[in-house]
Amino acid sequence: MEVEDLLVLKNNKGTEDNRVRHMDYGVQFNKLMYERLISGGNITLFSPQDVPGLYDAFFQDQDKFQELYEKAERMTSIRKKSMPAIELFSSFVTERKDTGRIYLMNVDHANTHGSFIEEVAPIKQSNLCCEINLPTKPLSDINDPTGEISLCTLSAVNWGVIKDLQEMQKISNLAVRALDELLDYQEYPVLAAELSTMNRRPLGVGIINFAYWLAKHDSTYQEPNLALVDEWAEAWSYGLIKASADLAQEKGKCPLTMQTKYGHGITPNQTYKTDVDELVKHKERQDWKGLRKQLKETGIRNSTLMALMPAETSAQISNSTNGIEPPRSYVSIKQSKHGVLKQVVPGYPYYKNKYDLLWEQKSPQGYLKIMAVLQKYIDQGISVNTSYNPEHYEDEKVPMSMLLQHLIMFYKYGGKQLYYNNTHDGQGEIDINKDEPLDDLPLGDIDDDDCESCKI
C-alpha cells in the first residue's frame, strides 16, 4: 500500500523526515505486473497482511500468486488501491533515472531460472550489487540455527587472455576448486552464515575483461556477435558445473544438493527464458547430456557457481576492463581506499579503434542483449547497469517510452536484476583523439563505484 511513498525515498524533494536519501534499495516485480503494463491495465496495491499467502507465493509460485491476487482484487472487505500500471512503472523509472541507484529485481526469473527449487528454497532478495541469488531466512537472535545468512565467495575468469575454448575447462576447474577450499578455510562469526555456507557451499564465478574480449574479436556492444558470446558462455558455464560435479564425486556433494535443480539433473540452459532464442539459436556443443546424468547420480558440490559481479578495483590486478561493462574512456583513474591508480584499457595500441566506449553507445539495447545471452547460462544473476547519453536524444532528454521499452525488453529476455542507471552529464569527460600517442592521452573520470561486498 505504501509503494508510492517508498519509491520517492531518495528524491531530493521533500523534507528530511520523509526522505532517506542515502539508503540503496530495490523494487521487486513479477510477470503479472509486466502483463498489466503491456495490456494497459491497473495494478492493485494491498497490504500483505490483508492477503494471507500472497507474499510467499510472490516468490514460490507465480500461478498461485495470480490466483490470490485476482481473488483479492474482487474482495470488497479489504483495503486496496488500484492505479494504472503505466503510472507505477513510470514513477519507478523516473526515480531510478533521477537517483541512479534504485535497483530492480524480477523475482519470478530469479526463482524459475535460479539454482534452487523455489518451493523449498525460494530466492527473496539479492545483495547490494544485484548479482547474488541465494536463499535467506530471518533470525530470531544472533545464535539462531534455523536462520540463514547467505554469503557468496567470488572469483572471475579473465576472458580477455583466453586464447581458445580448450583452456576454459582447466581454468574453470581451478576456479571452483580454489574457491571451494576457501569455504572451509575462512571463519564465520555468525552461526547462520556458517551453517548456510556449509550446507549449500555457494560460489560465484564471474567474467572480467569482457570489453577487451569483444574488441579482440572485432565485436561491439552496439552490434555484438551474440553467437560467439553464446558459444563462450556455454563453455564457461559447462566447465564450472562439470568441475563442481567432479568435486562432488571426490569430496561429496553439498548437504542440501536436492534443494537445487542441479541435484535433479537440471542445468541453467534448460530453465532460461526461451525468448532468448530470438537473439541466438539454441545449441548444445558440450556434453550436457552426460553432465546431467552425472549430476543426477552424484549431485553437486556447490549449489551455485556463477555470478557476474562488478569488478572495479578488483580488475586492476590483471589490468582488465571492469567485469562485463564497457569502459568510459581509454584511460581512467581507479580510486579506492587502497589509493589511486591510472589504468589504460588492455591492448590499446592494437585495439583502440575496436573499443566501444560507454558514452558512444546510442542506447543500452545491444548491451542488454549480451546480458540476456549470458544470463541463459548463469544460475545466479548479473549486475546489469543501464546507461544513457542524453546527447544521442532529441532535446538531450531520454524519452520515458525508451526507458520503459528497455525495462520490458530486459524482462522479456529473462533479466533478473538491474543495478545502476547511469546518465552522462558531461562532467569530467574528455574527448580523446585515437591517433594521439598513449602517453599524451588525457584522463577520464575518477572511477570509484566499487562495492565492498563484491571483492573478488
129 catalytic residue (yes or no): yes
Q: Which of 95, 131, 148, 325 is catalytic?
A: 131
Q: Which of 129, 152, 254, 454 is catalytic?
A: 129
Q: Which of 127, 133, 158, 421 is catalytic?
A: 127
Distances (CA, A) of 74 to 56, 67, 95, 175: 20, 11, 31, 53
| Residue located via cell numbers 591508480 | 341
Residue-wise over 56-71: b if at least 16 C-beta within 10 A, else e?
ebbbbbbeebeebbee
Q: Three-state SS string across the chain, please?
A: CCHHHHHCCCCCCCCHHHCCCCCCEEEEECHHHHHHHHHCCEEEECCHHHCCCHHHHHHHCHHHHHHHHHHHHHCCCCCCEEEEHHHHHHHHHHHHHHHCCEEEEEHHHHHHCCCECCCCCCCCCCCCCCCCCCCCECCCCCCCCCCECCCCEEEEEEHHHCCCHHHHHHHHHHHHHHHHHHHHHCCCCCHHHHHHHHHHCCEEEEEECHHHHHHHCCCCCCCCCHHHHHHHHHHHHHHHHHHHHHHHHHHCCCCCHHHECHHHCCCHHHHCCHHHHHCCCCCCCCCHHHHHHHHHHHCCCCCCCECECCCCHHHHCCCCCCCCCCCCCCEEEEEECCEEEEEECCCHHHHCCCCCCHHHCCCCHHHHHHHHHHHCCCCCCECEEEEECHHHCHHHCCCHHHHHHHHHHHHHCCCCEEEEEEECCCCCCCCCCCCCCHHHCCCCCEECCCCHHHCC
CA-only gyration radius of the chain, Å: 22
Q: What are the cell numbers at 7?
A: 519509491
- The one-letter code for the residue type at 360 is E
Establish whether 131 is a catalytic residue: yes
Catalytic residue list:
127, 129, 131
